[in-house]
Amino acid sequence: MATHFTKTRILSRVKANKSLWSLPSTLLSNPSSPTKPQNVILGRLVPFFLARRYESVEACNVEDGDQVLDFPGGRVALSPEMRFIPESAQERISCYRVLDDRGQLIDGSTFKDISKELAIKMYSQMVTLQVMDTIFYEAQRQGRISFYLTSIGEEAINIASAAALTGDDVVFPQYREPGILLWRGFTLQEFANQCFGNKADYGKGRQMPIHYGSNKLNYFTVSSPIATQIPHAVGAAYSLKMDKRNACAVTFFGDGGTSEGDFHAAMNFAAVMDVPVIFICRNNGWAISTPTSEQFKSDGVVVRGQAYGIRSIRIDGNDALAVYSAVHAARDMAVSECRPILIEALTYRAGHHSTSDDSTKYRSADEIEHWRTSRDPTARFRKWIERNDWWCDVDESALRTNLRKELLHAIQVAEKVEKPLLKELFTDVYDELPSNLSEQERELRRLIENRPSDFPADVPL
């Protein structure tokens, strides 16, 4: 280490990657708007995507004056004043938004243009997700499937982010992102097959309902343990980088997942290795029954990106245009600059955590109703496309009627399809079944033979 002295400004001598502050203007529809708020995506400056990378510098002769420590991690100013960094900034990081709650464009907002065709497809898929959740939830309550979990209130994050990605981008979901699959072509029948665990289910009935996956659509299978998918996504992104692929990895998680060690290990690995991964946190206010006020004391999740040296942004997760624009910009930066990006999407889980939960036990019905009615992302986006004369009540009625018929038919078909063979419980892990698993299968068959009433009768032996 070497200590240097200089009369010039210290910060001007810090080596930083200046490309961090540029964003291709082609991403933006109005980069020169004169009425931009301070913290929105701009054509040449991205103050919302916060992060600089400081590089180590070689020792050099400088003039006498203020002290500078030439540390291996980068040059640091020395100060005779003992000053602790405050626990939080004086002002919270603001939230990028394009549409207000009435579905009107905010003056001076900058966003990625979308066509009429794309807008209608996005809205139709948001409605599809909404109707699918309602019908499958009812099916669980009727005892036709064992479990379900909805994305009610988070349709914009699902569909708008999917629309901004490409089919080559690899997705590592949590469990509230079926809209990504829906956008990529997963059919309603495929959703029903998985929830009913029949032999047409790609997981062969070995997963709980809503644990979807598709190799063809680059969507890794949902796994129940919280945050385990985050480091997996970083590893996949590292592989994409080594293969020089024009794609990125994308992982979704809730605010509760940021309290897991996997989140922190993944963030640090991604930042140090400069991998093309997008972290999308659905901060929906509740980690089951734990509110964000008890989850962390920091200014949400977005500040954690800056702590790890990752460019970050906070967005309105109930604004489809904001989500689409931010994810589109994030993907461009992740792929073209080979870097990680963190997006904190503020939203609200308007449904129960799952069919095993009653959220009215820990939050008021009035709070839920307010978000369902006043801040519903699907209704907000509908107002915008209606203002553009792209949608009307007749279209709405036809869409919802047809969707309900398709979903009810898919459920009826899925119920009639035979369950997977019993032996499928033990396959697809080893090329040749080891002796211990063979013994377990024999023991299971003996138990079923001796106590048939304790096991489901519709599973073929």
CB-CB contact of 105 with 113 (8 Å): no
Is residue 211 part of the annotated active site? The answer reads no
Q: How would you classify the pairing of strands 341-346 and 311-316?
A: parallel
Calculate the CA dihedral of residues 280, 284, 287, 290 and round it to 10 degrees.
140
Backbone angles phi, psi at 140, to 5 degrees: -65, -40
Is residue 91 part of the annotated active site? The answer reads no
Structure tokens at 404: 């309900």
Diameter of the chain by CA atoms? 89
Choose, from 224, 239, 289, 374, the residue flagged as catalytic.
224
- In terms of Cα–Cα distance, which of 203, 208, 204, 205 is closest to 219? 203
Is residue 353 part of the annotated active site? The answer reads yes
Choose, from 352, 353, 359, 406, the residue flagged as catalytic.
353
Choose, from 109, 354, 359, 406, the residue flagged as catalytic.
354
Choose, from 55, 63, 138, 443, the residue flagged as catalytic.
138
Is residue 151 part of the annotated active site? The answer reads no
Query: How far is the C-alpha of 284 from the C-alpha of 291, rounded, in Å?
Result: 9
Active site residues per annotation:
138, 224, 353-354
